[in-house]
């Protein structure tokens, strides 16, 4: 399969960041981690950084703000640089913006890797992570609410991406290695290593 852009989606705890990093390293692509990019820009001294200060209050960023950040970062990436996106798109406005931008760059049809995880498994993993990392704010109620918000937003996004990208659903339950093998096989890159 010939591609230069991959969107890795899935619920929190599905391992999308891990798989995105592995894939980017293998393909010689840039790994776009939305959370990291937001923290990086917020640490600067720009008008955009000031707008992002609301992150400290745990406020959910608007699509407009996410898109503004994405535009600023995308402007620094050349059209022939392969990219693996993690953390965007999370909502419909972001999906439409990103797909439109990539088309404008005359990129190949993007590939969406969607890591499927049953709700109970997602809940269990997030609870475990909260305990391990000592996140007091990650109560079962808070996790449940985050999952509900995610499920509400992701339905329309996946429907849209099924039309606009090559959409590949992967079982997110097995081990990291097994999931990586499934992704490689689906992309036709089994065993490949790019410089």
Would you say residue 180 lies in a domain?
yes
Q: Is residue 51 part of a domain?
A: no
pLDDT above 50 (res 195):
no
Express each pLDDT in 116-174 by its tens digit.
Answer: 999 999 999 999 988 898 877 778 998 898 899 899 999 999 999 999 999 999 999 99
**Residue 127 included in any domain:** yes
Range of the domain at 27: 5-33+81-187
Is 69 within a domain?
no
Supply the pLDDT for residue 57: 74
The percent of residues in the chain predicted with pLDDT above 90, rounded, is: 79
Asked whether residue 144 is assigned to any structural domain, the reply reads: yes
Q: Tell me what pLDDT residue 191 has.
A: 58
Residue 53 predicted with pLDDT over 60:
yes
Q: What is the CATH number of the domain that holds 132?
A: 3.40.50.300
pLDDT tens-place string over residues 10-52: 998 999 999 999 999 999 999 999 989 999 999 999 999 999 9
**Sheet with 5-9, side-by-side order of all strands:** 30-33, 83-86, 5-9, 111-116, 166-171
pLDDT value of position 136: 74
Number of domains in the chain: 1
Q: Which of 61, 24, 18, 29 is nearest to 42 (CA)?
A: 61
Please enumerate in sequence order all residues whose Cβ is within 8 A of that of 35, keeping only pairs 6 or more positions apart, or say none.
87
Q: Is residue 63 part of a domain?
A: no
């Amino acid at each position: 399969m010939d591609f230069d852009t991959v969107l890795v989606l899935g619920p929190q705890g599905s391992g999308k960041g891990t798989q995105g990093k592995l894939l980017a390293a293998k393909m010689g692509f840039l790994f776009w981690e939305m959370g990291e990019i937001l923290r990086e820009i917020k640490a600067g001294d720009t008008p955009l950084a000031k707008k992002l200060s609301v992150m400290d209050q745990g406020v959910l960023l608007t699509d407009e703000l996410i898109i503004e950040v994405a535009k600023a970062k995308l402007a620094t990436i050349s059209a022939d640089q392969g990219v693996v996106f993690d953390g965007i798109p999370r909502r419909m406005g972001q999906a439409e913006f990103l797909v439109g931008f990539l088309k404008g760059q005359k990129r190949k049809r993007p590939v969406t890797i969607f890591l499927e995880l049953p709700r109970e498994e997602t809940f269990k993993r997030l609870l475990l992570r909260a305990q391990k990392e000592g996140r007091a704010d990650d109560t079962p109620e808070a996790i449940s609410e985050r999952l509900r918000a995610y499920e509400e937003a992701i339905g329309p996004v996946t429907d849209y991406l099924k039309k606009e990208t090559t959409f590949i659903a992967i079982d997110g339950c097995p081990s990291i290695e097994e999931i990586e093998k499934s992704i490689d096989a689906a992309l036709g890159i089994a065993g490949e290593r790019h410089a």
